[in-house]
Structure 1
Amino acid sequence: MARLMVLGLLRMKPMSGYEIQQVLSQSKTDAWAGILPGSIYHALKKMESESLVEIDALQQTGNRSKAIYKITKQGEEHFLELLREALQASSIRLPSQLYTALSFIQELGREEVLACLQLQREQLTRELEQQKAGIKIKQEFMNVDGVVELLFQNLYKQYELQLQLLDKLIAHYEQQ
């Protein structure tokens, strides 16, 4: 995922690893894409060795130099391959950790179950609000077209669906 994201962003304009990290972080893309800051730098170095990206410029800031990367023709081709693969891959990711825990939930007491479910509900609510703020930030960096709007709407619905399940589970355990 990191390679596709990094190459896609470099198609927009040459950037440093830090700039890529900031775009992903500020737009909250790193949260749903699962891209850690270190993976950006690792991907850049690996793709540089594979001639998918190259250093466009070195910027000096104080005692440090910052590499500005750009995508190569080979990188453009690889980006399209990764894009096709990603579009064809199954997009369903089930909350397996939650489902596994629910399989053994009877091992905990009612109050502990409710406390855990409430904590998860609060966390998901915060994440959903961060994602909603992310689209506003993303609009500052790029044109948010109909496809990106659909992406965000679907992302919100995934959170809302999970929150509905948690609400039903909480109601179930509150009635016991």
Structure 2
Amino acid sequence: MNPTRLFVLGALARRGPMYGHQIRRDARLDRAELWSEVRPGSLYGALHRLEAEGLIEPVRTEQQGQLPARTVYAITDEGRRELRTLRTEAFAEVGLRPDPVDLALAMSDELDEDTLRGFIEDRRRLLEAQATGLDHRRERAWPDQTVADDLIVEHARLRVQAELAWHDQLLDQVGKLQTVSAHRPGGDQ
């Protein structure tokens, strides 16, 4: 499932014909970074690919003053079918992607406890900042905020809270990570 395709097609289906900058602005306003891997910079390339595939079509060109001309796109019937397929795939896709910290943790045998603890504490501070930001977003509504927006922010907040709890557990057990197990090859026998 391609989140950028889903976002562009969904935005055009929901809001009607738009040009790239409007879609990019909507990605920022809709807080797309909370609920997807959609990056505003990737939207223009996606527009060209979707047009080449016949999923969207240019409906007009607009130009204001000396600004460059902008192509306004609309979703096609084929694009609406693709949107339904992508949405169905997204609802069916369940799972969390592996976090690189797990691999780093598995490969941290040679790190001393203080260095490892420092890495983990740094990550925890970053997560705490994310949690604080999400708490602030939850407290302040933005224009046109919907129940779905509230639920998306809450989902992100709960995921960060789970990460914080795991990091606390990790910090509590970091000393045990440095103990070489007698069952591991090369470990003390």
TM-score bin, normalised by smaller chain: 0.7 to 0.9
Q: How does 1:5-44 map to 2 (within 5 A)?
A: 5-13=7-15, 14-44=17-47
- CA distance in structure 2 between the partners assigned to 1:50 and 1:85 by the alignment: 19
Selected match of 2:102 from 90, 99, 103: 99
CA-to-aligned-CA distance 1:33-70 (integer Å, 9 cap, x gap): 11223321111111111221112332213241122222
CA-to-aligned-CA distance 1:121-169 (integer Å, 9 cap, x gap): 12223333444555688842x4512x44333322211111011111222
- CA distance in structure 2 between the partners assigned to 1:138 and 1:10 by the alignment: 24
The structure that is helix-richer by fraction is 1
Q: How does 1:71-82 map to 2 (within 5 A)?
A: 71-82=75-86
Partner of 1:162: 163
- TM-score scaled by length of structure 1: 0.82
Matched, 1:171 2:172: yes
- CA distance in structure 2 between the partners assigned to 1:28 and 1:125 by the alignment: 19
Selected match of 1:4 from 3, 6, 14: 6
Q: How does 1:93-172 map to 2 (within 5 A)?
A: 93-132=96-135, 139-140=142-143, 142-145=144-147, 147-172=148-173
Closer/same/farther in 2, CA of residues 28 and 97 from structure 1, 3 Å limit: same
- CA distance in structure 1 between the partners assigned to 2:140 and 2:79 by the alignment: 27
RMSD between superposed Cα atoms in Å:
2.6
- Choose between structure 1 and 2 for higher RCO, CA contacts under 8 A separated by at least 6 residues: 1
2:70 partner SS: strand
The answer (yes or no) to whether the contact 1:59–1:66 under 8 Å persists in 2 is: yes
Instruction: Select the structure of larger CA radius of gyration.
Output: 2
- TM-score scaled by length of structure 2: 0.77
Moved more, 155-164 or 63-72: 63-72
The answer (yes or no) to whether the contact 2:56–2:76 under 8 Å persists in 1 is: yes
> In the alignment, residue 172 of structure 1 is paired with which amino acid?
Q
Q: Which blocks of at least 5 consecutive residues in structure 2 are unaligned?
A: 179-189
Q: Which blocks of at least 5 consecutive residues in structure 1 are unaligned?
A: none
The answer (yes or no) to whether the contact 1:28–1:134 under 8 Å persists in 2 is: no
